[in-house]
């Protein structure tokens, strides 16, 4: 049985104080979610990872990116051992904003996924098509490439621990949700792709999230779908009250 997972992607929001205040308030929320078999987590900026961990060590905390090398001449980058040093064991990879604004490719994502697993971390690998690709009926081609190249060389055991987030680019931050039918169709398709390469067991264990304008009002419908195990939430994850509503509305 796959546990439900709700993850907040804070993007480039919140000062350290704001992040810590959220973490403090979220203590109660975390206990409440766990009591209902739901895992919750947040992805703050690098600067707030330490503070959030200190204030609320039980909350899953993810970095929003990492470098695949342990150290070296990579100005401006953060390595996996540096994240582990803070006790951070989760990391988003390949978010569409990283792909669009920072040129992140499927091949680079693959290197990062391998490096994260080599360090026993849990990646949340983001995939999704642009509006042009969606309108050209290319969604499945794009997803297939992102999944197959991104996961290339991983083991079955890796994939069992992996989280994949399907986020159509056209629905991120736009208020234009993908229908639950689309979400289920693509999340199910991703599970089939995983099954084809890594086998049935891995495909049954990999957790697949939907992301893109998820709000308290629509979260339950997505999570009611067979292959949707949770949600990656941007805007609606920034306030504790809204996060609380997301959890309550799933129950």
Residue ranges that bind ligand PGA, judged by CB under 6 A: 9, 167, 172-173, 211-214, 232-236
- Position closest to ligand PGA via CB: 234
CB of residue 77 to ligand PGA, shortest distance in Å: 21
Strand partners, 79: 67
Nearest in space to 9 (alpha carbons), one of 193, 235, 225: 235
Q: How many CA atoms lie within 13 A of 89 on its CB side?
A: 10
Closest to ligand PGA by CB, 41 or 235:
235
Closest to ligand PGA by CB, 99 or 198:
99
CB of residue 140 to ligand PGA, shortest distance in Å: 21
Active site residues per annotation: 95, 167
Closest to ligand PGA by CB, 119 or 249:
249
Closest to ligand PGA by CB, 24 or 241:
241
CB of residue 164 to ligand PGA, shortest distance in Å: 13
**3-state class (DSSP) for residue 208:** strand
CB of residue 122 to ligand PGA, shortest distance in Å: 17
User: Can you give the C-alpha Rg of the chain in angstroms?
Assistant: 17
Neighbours of 202 (CB within 10 A): 22
Strand partners, 211: 232
> What one-character-per-residue DSSP string does 114-159 give?
HHHHHTT-EEEEEE---HHHHHTT-HHHHHHHHHHHHTTT--HHHH
- How far is residue 43 from each of residues 103, 123, 133, 201, 238, measured CA to CA in Å? 21, 12, 28, 28, 10
**Are the CB atoms for 41 and 230 separated by under 8 Å?**
no
**3-state class (DSSP) for residue 78:** coil
CB of residue 7 to ligand PGA, shortest distance in Å: 8
């Amino acid at each position: 049985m796959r546990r439900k997972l709700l993850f907040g992607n804070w993007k480039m929001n919140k000062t350290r104080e704001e992040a810590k205040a959220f973490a403090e308030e979220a203590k109660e929320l975390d206990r409440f979610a766990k009591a209902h078999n739901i895992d919750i987590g947040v992805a703050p900026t690098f600067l707030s990872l330490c503070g959030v961990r200190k204030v609320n060590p039980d909350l899953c905390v993810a970095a929003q990116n990492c470098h695949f090398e342990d150290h070296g001449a990579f100005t401006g980058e953060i390595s996996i051992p540096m994240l582990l040093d803070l006790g951070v064991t989760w990391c988003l990879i390949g978010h569409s904003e990283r792909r669009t604004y920072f040129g992140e490719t499927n091949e680079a994502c693959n290197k990062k996924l391998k490096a994260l697993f080599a360090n026993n971390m849990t990646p949340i690998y983001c995939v999704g098509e642009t509006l042009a690709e969606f309108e050209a009926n290319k969604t499945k081609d794009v997803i297939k490439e992102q999944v197959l190249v991104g996961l290339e060389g991983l083991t079955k055991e890796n994939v069992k621990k992996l989280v994949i987030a399907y986020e159509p680019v056209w629905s991120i931050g736009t208020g234009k949700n993908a229908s639950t039918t689309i979400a289920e169709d693509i999340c199910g398709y991703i599970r089939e792709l995983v099954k084809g390469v890594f086998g049935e067991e891995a495909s049954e264990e990999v957790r697949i999230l939907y992301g893109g304008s998820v709000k308290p009002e629509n979260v339950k419908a997505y999570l009611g779908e067979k292959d949707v195990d949770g949600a990656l939430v941007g805007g609606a994850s920034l306030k504790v009250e809204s996060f609380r509503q997301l959890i309550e509305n799933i129950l």
